[in-house]
Structure 1
């Protein structure tokens, strides 16, 4: 992650946002690394999964929450399109629906609705959204639906193919809709 933040510092414009999903136990270490590279820590929030996988439910609690951390590069604030509304650091959605896995599935795939929440809040139409860990392309789908530009990379050619197919399908649909969280 130290190398990631070094490269992120190189390519992200001043005031640009980074959102990282992670286990809550790693937040403090991540914040230290980000600050070392000139990123301002804004907040830590929670994504609550309304229908989590009930793995090992007889052994321990079912994990229904995932932490996210929000940073801004080289500034105390960046774009925040809340339109005067109170936005909580708690987001509740289902896990990725089956309709979003038609081209394939990634082990840590997020739902488009979740990524659209961050894209709509933290960027403007025409902005560039960059996902250096693109996986199945959820961020790209949310970005193009929100009229943003998108660049994504992944080490796996299998996931790059899945992401390309998903994003291409959205781009070839006759009418795009802006995705937002239900209120």
Structure 2
């Protein structure tokens, strides 16, 4: 008879701000992934048809006109964020190829400032930023008059030693497909699950710890749970937190004869 046992990685999402992390029993991370606020302020929907009622200029402005994605989208404290990262990343190991990493997903205009701020906190970054390419764009207004953005960006940071890197003997380019979002999108800047799974697989092994200090939709924790990584996250907005918890709880990773499989009633992830 085929043997099956449930693998129960830790997967904890806290309805709190990451600056309150000392309240919680969190293990130090092999990888921290953060999709930080873009600091767009009240122009969050400026190039999107959502600015107008029903997506039509003739209908006048919608309730999203002149608004932020969320309250922290104009005053995110990046220095406090890096202090959190320094406390929660695992210490530098003696072995080569075991060091932890930080991935920040960000807007194009944040790339250069983040590199400089990271240096002040003792972090290096690779020469090439991550570029996630899409075959669609949210910048639909006046698309017949200008070039629109169809990329998202990220940076990989490390301290003194190069981080763990599971490339399987193949070159990994700094550009990769962003992919399509799942049907149950619950956050305005949500990232595709398959993209997060790829990044987590590159920089961690089964059983490692992944932390997302600004969890949003909880997709990082969901991807980590599927891949049998332990994960912790923080989300201060109650509606995002509740939906994220619902999605996370519906996924159960299992082991069948030593092979990782997933049982879920949401998506066929693998």
Same fold (TM over 0.5): yes
- Mapping for residues 125-136 of structure 1, pairs under 5 Å: 125-136=206-217
Runs of 4+ aligned residues of structure 1 deviating over 4 Å after TM superposition are 172-175, 177-180
User: Is 1:168 aligned to residue 244 of structure 2?
Assistant: no
Which structure's relative contact order is higher, taking Cα pairs within 8 Å and 6+ residues apart?
2
- Alignment-derived partner of residue 240 in structure 2: 159
64, 76, 93: which is aligned to 2:150? Answer: 64
Give the Cα separation in 1 of the matches to 2:144 and 2:136.
17
165, 172, 189: which is aligned to 1:87? Answer: 172
Q: Deviations over 1:75-132 (max 9, x none)?
A: 230110001111000011323131xx1xx51000000011011000011110111001
- Alignment-derived partner of residue 33 in structure 1: 117
User: Residues 54 and 29 (structure 1 numbering): CA distance in 2 closer, same or farther, change over 3 Å?
Assistant: closer
User: Is 1:149 aligned to residue 230 of structure 2?
Assistant: yes
Give the Cα separation in 2 of the matches to 1:29 and 1:71.
14
Q: Is the 8 A contact 1:52 1:94 kept in 2?
A: no
Which structure has the highest helix share of the two? 1
SS of 1:176 mapped into structure 2? strand
Give the Cα separation in 2 of the matches to 1:50 and 1:147.
31
How many residues matched? 175
- Normalization by structure 2: what TM-score? 0.60
CA displacement at 1:54 relative to structure 2: 5.0
SS of 2:252 mapped into structure 1? helix
CA displacement at 1:20 relative to structure 2: 1.0
Q: Is the 8 A contact 2:226 2:253 kept in 1?
A: no
SS of 1:171 mapped into structure 2? strand
Q: Is the 8 A contact 2:253 2:262 kept in 1?
A: no
Give the Cα separation in 1 of the matches to 2:254 and 2:145.
45
- Alignment-derived partner of residue 221 in structure 2: 140
Q: Deviations over 1:137-178 (max 9, x none)?
A: 111111111110110101111111111111111137894189
SS of 1:62 mapped into structure 2? coil
User: Is 1:49 aligned to residue 123 of structure 2?
Assistant: no
SS of 1:3 mapped into structure 2? helix
Name stretches of at least 5 consecutive residues in structure 1 with no aligned partner.
none
Give the Cα separation in 1 of the matches to 2:84 and 2:218.
21
Name stretches of at least 5 consecutive residues in structure 2 with no aligned partner.
1-77, 93-98, 256-260
